[in-house]
Structure 1
């Protein structure tokens, strides 16, 4: 039959063809249930009450009772969406035919395409869009669009996956957990339509209430995380599963900042800024999604554990604590009220053990949970053990157990606090009643506490506006001295210092500075490891001897003589920042000094941050008690440290270059302020450097010679007790 094109102006643009196409064609349809073409045809035909479905196969005949055509050119109309399930050798010809006919939506199931770049160019030139190739298909519950292997149950979770198999696992686990799928898209090779495109397209997808994402790479990382931020703002929180948490990148790192931050730490920082949550496994993704789709987010970390078994209660408390939640001891009026409702000997301190109260009267579960949710002493309740199994083992109790389940759901709505249930009968009828009533049910206590901890993390990080384009862009300095000047201009204090090139300049500088001195080979990235720093030089003669020895070993270059920071009660910290090519600017603070990589105690966030967020970063460090004053030592000036973190975060957002790293290590924080004693700025790309002797141009020298004024922006330049670990 002749082809009839749609009337002018009626073809949809963008991604509309992948949401609700008016017509679909499956090329490579098959009657064999073991073939992809069968499942695509079967799914597409299920939507015939909403759209026209065409099946194309060379074999002819009928498939699943529907007629077939031998080619796209034999169809009576130009289909809006064409699913391509043909051998790779035939793909180019079929795509060319589709584009010549005017098809605007292509779903590429075919894998092992020979020249994807050429295929992408042809699709773009025709003004069409393509998901895939190597896609496992797509499903949209809102529009009965099903072009994928397997079956889907409608629900509120959208799944967008870079791996079709991982996406299928997430969808299967979610359905086994009583959840359903609103939309499923396997992005495949992202030849044209990208992950960012598909996430942006979910923002106004009505059925979607939460999103599960699997990523293996962060192509268009900025757009991806902007989309996650937009989804959170639309009330659709995202749970992200990502591959690549590896130390391989750190092995080649040239700065402490790179060595101390794994790829996933950067992703976690981007997630927090976007209001999303990263999880380690598909099961964890589904666990968190179960809470997001069923009940509310907890407003705090305090959880009450209720059990009908002391052992299960103890295990639940352990798992909650391990996941970063708190299990506070209950006392006072609340403990007394619980004791009145329970048999003698019941534990009421938290965990709460019903001590057989549930077997005597199932309403004990309701009464205890009601007291806890209404008390204000906890933010959530986890019920663990046998509830949900009474009706299975004793059918006469089924109706009563179901009624209590409905009442438990009403309690969560009334008090606005979540209740989660770990049940030995997680797939019972009572469990279904609980889920319908707004109470998520889990088969293991670890799943329940994983879900609760994830939900709490999402509440803590609702997302913040993107860093945007800074009003001021700064050119990168060319070496240590210029980097030092850049940081000083940003308000970061350094010891008084001069740059010197020979013994005469060094002697003149020593006469203008206060001993003890530090001598540095400023062009070295890691001075201590290369023997490029000497501390504790008590006089000019000692400084000259140190310079002669260092110059003999290292040769000509810009050396620096500075006053040594010898203040008491100092804690050494590292403050670093990097502009990641995929995820944008990041800032890091952690335990510093020459042992920074040994301690590996760092916190990373997207830059820039303000002083308040910098304070929050510092509180998360394991070494935070040292900064706050440990075992009678005075507290350091944490406010000054937070100001440095904020200043460095602003600088990294302003510096030119797609891959730049900036680092202060150590930053010496004392009760009277913070003093930076070494700084490094370099290109993150392997092999690049900005800090070598040949970058020390003669034009820079006069301004820093001992004949001129010293560089004296210091927090404390005089002290009495020597500290040979300073200024390293």
Structure 2
């Protein structure tokens, strides 16, 4: 990527003196780096651009530029690129929009040994290398921005400048016709100026490479924050299984973020506020917080907001309560949240004293200070000399405790607030922002990524046929428990098969080919003898026709919870595994959790715990707990199947019946890549 972010020479084709045109800003930006690299401006109609001599054509340049920036009408780009390739140019930044056949243009450049960023790029910036090839001005800093939407990326850069972060690198990649986000992200791993990364993507093609790049950034200690679109839309295709229809593109993106150790956010503002936290604060070790406020109302709101964001306003242990009580002798009762009740105004050191005591509590992961602190010196200037030393104490306390303290202050820019940020104590003007940031920082700390490629996988599995019988064989071979069963139909009548089968009633009879048997009346339960089997079999054949039918021993255990376990090949990220509330109402509840496959037993247990229905598995209202470890092993087996076999497009077991004595799969569906539209 050096040719794009630190070229030895750069030429701007389409340079202009008109400040309303892209060519003006590209020329002006390129000239800022003229002390570091040679800069050539090309315009057939102007002898000079912004006081710098120009060339009329590419062929007149005194050297072959290492990077050519193209800002000309889209239909003319292909001709320009052909001429530049002939001259020996190998790196292209194409700003131009509406370029015909962008994919073909990229292929032409790659065939010649070149690379392309764009078309429809809004430019490149590298603050350390004096590279500014974009519209406007960029404040140097530590945040790298990689974006498919140039203007959204510019918004992030603007917000980061206002917050004091600034930009290390900026890359607007357009439609990723050649250079993709993963390559630019990988180059940021060793960029000394970049400490964290903002990524906006609309397309996640090439997901495995992207996940690998995000993992490398996490390993380098560089948080990556992701924005994307599509949270409100369902999957783009109608899947044959609930596994496909219940999960969206956003679910897959979130799973990829967890696997890579990145974090997805909703807006540019939220991204920048979290980036501010990452520049200053220690990460919380858990969700247990203490709230300290000089207002009872603000403290109560802070506690409620914390709970809304999944944080736990933790009960103070006796030692901490004693220390707090000694500092607040007039308090009637010490509890979390802690109300200073005027003690802070009497002695500003009380803020730091109590914070220090709270951070010393091993059961407290972070402290949130909410209220007036930060305003004393701003509102009453003579108090500034008293407030600032307390701020300095905060810095020392946080550094020693290695736990985060977040301040919600009613001032946005007082000297005290500014100094808090400098000392590693982030301060926000809303309690919502403070708690949101703390929650997301905790999530980031808890999800450091995982090595999916080191997990065992099942080798390539090609079902010997279609339908339930073949699916049973696939999952049973993978180690998933299934009921004893025999096949009926196609000349195998119940009276010939059942008596010597060794099966024990009651039985379940199932049509072998429908994807969703209940919807077509393809299942009969509670068949207690051969006569009942024959009657049910004759009815199904009469309604559904000849075919393969499966007769199983029916699972009649008590205290069963029905769970769905499935997997699929995602077009972007590859193999995924899902667990959900199962049974015929699975789509109604839409209680799901998704991860990149394969997963370990521990990760499968974590997936189960994320379900709302997981409480049914742990012993709801006096019921015995189900075999959660057995269910986890089913999830592991399915994850290995889908990760190891490219022949499996989708796989679903619904339901897995989980009881105290184990998990049993009583229905399954496998959709192969060779015939993804099959109903069988």
The structure-2 alpha-carbon separation of the partners of 1:429 and 1:110, relative to structure 1 and needing over 3 Å to count, comes to farther
Q: Deviations over 1:407-447 (max 9, x none)?
A: 21222111111112222222333222112111222232222
**For residue 486 of structure 2, what is the aligned residue in structure 1?**
498
1:92-491 residue pairs with structure 2 within 5 A? 92-249=78-235, 252-342=238-328, 344-345=330-331, 348-467=334-453, 470=457, 472-479=459-466, 480-491=468-479
Q: Deviations over 1:116-174 (max 9, x none)?
A: 12311221122121111101111112211111112222222111011111111111222
TM-aligned CA deviation for residue 77 of structure 1: 2.1
Q: Could you tell me whether the CA contact under 8 Å between 2:240 and 2:677 is conserved in 1?
A: no
Q: Deviations over 1:548-596 (max 9, x none)?
A: 1111110011001111111111111111111212111111112111111
3-state SS of 2:68 partner: strand
Mapped partners of 2:159, 2:649: distance in 1:
41
The structure-2 alpha-carbon separation of the partners of 1:162 and 1:671, relative to structure 1 and needing over 3 Å to count, comes to same
**For residue 532 of structure 1, what is the aligned residue in structure 2?**
522
Mapped partners of 2:408, 2:17: distance in 1:
44
Matched, 1:681 2:662: no
Matched, 1:76 2:62: yes
TM-aligned CA deviation for residue 477 of structure 1: 4.4
Two-structure CA RMSD over aligned residues (Å): 2.0
Mapped partners of 1:62, 1:581: distance in 2:
50
TM-aligned CA deviation for residue 343 of structure 1: 6.3
Mapped partners of 1:583, 1:150: distance in 2:
35
Q: Could you tell me whether the CA contact under 8 Å between 2:231 and 2:250 is conserved in 1?
A: yes
Give the stretch that moved more between structures: 341-350 or 162-171. 341-350
Q: Could you tell me whether the CA contact under 8 Å between 1:571 and 1:669 is conserved in 2?
A: yes
Taking structure 1 as the reference length, the TM-score comes to 0.89
TM-aligned CA deviation for residue 687 of structure 1: 5.8
Give the stretch that moved more between structures: 361-370 or 62-71. 62-71
The structure-2 alpha-carbon separation of the partners of 1:375 and 1:211, relative to structure 1 and needing over 3 Å to count, comes to same
Mapped partners of 2:111, 2:347: distance in 1:
71
Mapped partners of 1:150, 1:105: distance in 2:
23
3-state SS of 1:498 partner: strand
Mapped partners of 1:169, 1:408: distance in 2:
32
Q: Deviations over 1:351-410 (max 9, x none)?
A: 222222332222222222111112222111122222222232222233433332232122
The structure-2 alpha-carbon separation of the partners of 1:73 and 1:176, relative to structure 1 and needing over 3 Å to count, comes to same
The structure-2 alpha-carbon separation of the partners of 1:241 and 1:202, relative to structure 1 and needing over 3 Å to count, comes to same
Structure 1 unmatched ranges of 5 or more: 1-14, 693-728
**For residue 600 of structure 1, what is the aligned residue in structure 2?**
590
The structure-2 alpha-carbon separation of the partners of 1:593 and 1:405, relative to structure 1 and needing over 3 Å to count, comes to same
Mapped partners of 1:223, 1:261: distance in 2:
22
Mapped partners of 1:612, 1:534: distance in 2:
37
Structure 2 unmatched ranges of 5 or more: none
Mapped partners of 1:574, 1:190: distance in 2:
37
**For residue 521 of structure 1, what is the aligned residue in structure 2?**
511
TM-aligned CA deviation for residue 347 of structure 1: 6.7
The structure-2 alpha-carbon separation of the partners of 1:246 and 1:36, relative to structure 1 and needing over 3 Å to count, comes to same
Mapped partners of 1:533, 1:621: distance in 2:
28
TM-aligned CA deviation for residue 301 of structure 1: 1.0
TM-aligned CA deviation for residue 75 of structure 1: 2.5
TM-aligned CA deviation for residue 620 of structure 1: 1.8
The structure-2 alpha-carbon separation of the partners of 1:355 and 1:267, relative to structure 1 and needing over 3 Å to count, comes to same
3-state SS of 1:232 partner: helix
Q: Could you tell me whether the CA contact under 8 Å between 1:347 and 1:355 is conserved in 2?
A: no
**For residue 20 of structure 1, what is the aligned residue in structure 2?**
6
Give the stretch that moved more between structures: 549-558 or 511-520. 511-520
Q: Could you tell me whether the CA contact under 8 Å between 1:477 and 1:483 is conserved in 2?
A: no
The structure-2 alpha-carbon separation of the partners of 1:558 and 1:107, relative to structure 1 and needing over 3 Å to count, comes to same
Q: Could you tell me whether the CA contact under 8 Å between 1:585 and 1:653 is conserved in 2?
A: yes
Mapped partners of 2:289, 2:373: distance in 1:
18
Taking structure 2 as the reference length, the TM-score comes to 0.95
The structure-2 alpha-carbon separation of the partners of 1:429 and 1:87, relative to structure 1 and needing over 3 Å to count, comes to farther
User: Aligned to 1:660, which of 649, 667, 679?
Assistant: 649
TM-aligned CA deviation for residue 462 of structure 1: 0.7
The structure-2 alpha-carbon separation of the partners of 1:474 and 1:406, relative to structure 1 and needing over 3 Å to count, comes to same
Q: Could you tell me whether the CA contact under 8 Å between 2:457 and 2:641 is conserved in 1?
A: no
Mapped partners of 2:642, 2:384: distance in 1:
62
Q: Could you tell me whether the CA contact under 8 Å between 2:452 and 2:597 is conserved in 1?
A: no
Mapped partners of 2:564, 2:457: distance in 1:
24
User: Aligned to 2:566, which of 553, 576, 595?
Assistant: 576
Q: Deviations over 1:269-295 (max 9, x none)?
A: 111111111112222222221111222
TM-aligned CA deviation for residue 536 of structure 1: 1.1
Mapped partners of 2:675, 2:294: distance in 1:
58
3-state SS of 2:221 partner: coil
TM-aligned CA deviation for residue 183 of structure 1: 0.9
TM-aligned CA deviation for residue 227 of structure 1: 0.6
Q: Could you tell me whether the CA contact under 8 Å between 1:287 and 1:450 is conserved in 2?
A: no
TM-aligned CA deviation for residue 673 of structure 1: 0.9
The structure-2 alpha-carbon separation of the partners of 1:430 and 1:64, relative to structure 1 and needing over 3 Å to count, comes to farther
1:550-629 residue pairs with structure 2 within 5 A? 550-629=540-619
Q: Deviations over 1:503-529 (max 9, x none)?
A: 862123332322111111010100011
3-state SS of 1:313 partner: helix
Q: Could you tell me whether the CA contact under 8 Å between 2:577 and 2:635 is conserved in 1?
A: yes
Mapped partners of 1:251, 1:465: distance in 2:
29
The structure-2 alpha-carbon separation of the partners of 1:503 and 1:542, relative to structure 1 and needing over 3 Å to count, comes to farther
Mapped partners of 1:411, 1:105: distance in 2:
51
**For residue 620 of structure 2, what is the aligned residue in structure 1?**
630
The structure-2 alpha-carbon separation of the partners of 1:356 and 1:38, relative to structure 1 and needing over 3 Å to count, comes to farther
TM-aligned CA deviation for residue 531 of structure 1: 0.7
